Amino acid sequence: MKKVSNLVAGAFLAAVALAPGWALAQGQAAGERYGYGPGMMGWGEGGYGMFFGPLFMILTLVAVIAAIVFLIQWLGGGSWQGAQKPTGPAPLDILKARFARGEIDQKEFESRRKVLAE
């Protein structure tokens, strides 16, 4: 019983939603009323074509460009983050470790540290 009532309610709502469209479809077109054909780009029917036409053209162009960029990015296997930072210890840490092991003296350590600071 509940399925039938849901079905009837759905049919009623569909009829209510579609009724304005059916009614408008029965009316005369502007060309028949005023004796001319459809205006350029929809001007005879409200002029929305002058706004939505270029808008959808621009949106389509943006979507195509974005799809191409994402496709190239996906095929290239790259990332949007740019250049990757090198992994491993920093040069100053390596210099400190060499000084601590005694491989270089204090004078050489100071001169190389100044070069790295530049």
Give pTM, 2 decimals. Answer: 0.32
Q: How far apart are CA 114 and CA 109, in angstroms?
A: 9
Q: How far apart are CA 44 and CA 95, in angstroms?
A: 79
Query: What are the residue ranges in the chain where pLDDT is below 70?
Result: 1-7, 22-50, 77-86
Contact residues for 50 (Cβ-Cβ < 8 A; gap 6+): 41, 42, 43
Q: What is the pLDDT of residue 58?
A: 92
For the chain, what are the domain ranges? 88-118
Specify the amino acid at residue 84: Q
Write the burial class of residue 54 (CB in 10 Å: 0-12 exposed, 13-18 middle, 19+ buried). Answer: exposed
Q: How far apart are CA 28 and CA 43, in angstroms?
A: 16
